[in-house]
A = this chain, B = another copy of it.
Amino acid sequence: MDRQRIKEIVQEVVQKVLQKPTKVPIAVSNRHIHLSPEHLDRLFGRSYMLSKQKDLSQPNQFAAKETVTLIGPKGKIQKVRILGPARGKTQVEVSLFDGFTLGVKPPIRNSGDIEGSASVTIQGPRGQVTIPEGLICAARHIHMQPSDGDAFGVSDGDYVQVMVDGPRGVIFSNVLIRVSQNYKLEMHIDIDEANAANLKNGQLGEIVAIERQISEGGG
C-alpha cells in the first residue's frame, strides 16, 4: 500500500466523519491601532471624534480616516490606520516584519491579551504617548456566529487547522475559533502570513482538522 493510497483513505475517512462545511473566507489585516478614549484625546486633542473612512466586515467596527506614526528604537512606521470606535485599552497590532522595522519584538497574542506585551511610542498630530504594553502581533483566528460554530462543529476557544491552496499553499495550525453573535464568519491573518501563502483578501481557506477542543460539546 503506497503513501498516495493511504492519503486517499485518510481523506475519505475524515470526510465521512466530519460531514460538515469547511470553507471560510480569509481577510488580511494590515497593521492598525485601537485607541483608548484617553489616548485619542492625547494624540488628537480633547474630545476628538474619529471620522469614518469605511465600515469593516465585523459589525460596528470601522477604519478611521485618521492615522498615527509608530516609533520604536530602530525606526518608525507612518500612516498606521486607527480602527474605531475608541475602546477600553490601546492595542497596536503589527506584523513580525514591522517589529523588525521598529526594533521591538511584539509577542503573538490573541486580541485583548496585552498584559506584559511590547512597548511602543505613538505619535499623533497633537501629541505623543508611549504605551508600556499593548503592542502585539495578532494570533491567527476565525470569527464566527454561534450558528456557524454549530455547523462547523466547533466552539469558542477551540483550535483548528486551515489549509490554503495554490503554488504557495500552506496549512495554518493553531487557528483560534472565536464565537460571538457580534461576529461575521471570517478568518483573520496578517500580512506576513498572507504573503507566505501568496493569499489575497477574500480567498477561501478550508478547515481540515480540529486540533484542540475545549469541550466535547463542540461537535
Task: List residues of A whose CB falls within 8 A of some B CB.
Answer: 1-3, 6-7, 10, 13-14, 17-18, 95-97, 108, 139-140, 161, 167-174, 191-193, 195-198, 209-210, 219
Complex CA gap A168/B139 in Å reads 8
* A70 CB → nearest B CB, Å: 17
CB distance from A186 to the nearest CB of B (A): 18
- Please determine whether B197 and A196 come into contact, CB atoms closer than 8 angstroms: yes
Question: Which of B1, B14, B173 makes the CB contact (< 8 A) with A171?
Answer: B173
Task: Name the residue of chain B whose CB is nearest to the CB of A161.
Answer: B171
B210 touches A3 (CB 8 A): yes
- Listed residue (A96, A195, A210) with the most chain B CB atoms within 10 angstroms of its CB: A195
- Per assembly, the copies of the chain total 2
4 additional contacts (CB under 8 A) given A108-B168, A161-B171, A169-B174: A3-B210, A10-B10, A169-B173, A171-B171
A168 CA to B175 CA in the complex, in Å?
9
For A18, list chain B residues within 8 Å (CB): 3
Known: A3-B17, A3-B210. Contact between A196 and B195, CB under 8 A?
yes
Chain B residues in 8 Å Cβ range of A193: 195-196
Which of the listed residues A1, A97, A108 has the most CB atoms from chain B within 10 Å of its own CB? Answer: A97
**Do residues B97 and A192 form an inter-chain contact, with CB atoms below 8 A?**
yes
A196 to B191, CA, bound (A): 9
Complex partner residue of A195 from B3, B13, B96, B219, CB under 8 angstroms:
B96
Whether A97 contacts B195 in the complex (CB less than 8 A), given A7-B209, A209-B3, comes out as yes
Interface centre among A170, A193, A210 (most CB of B within 10 A): A170
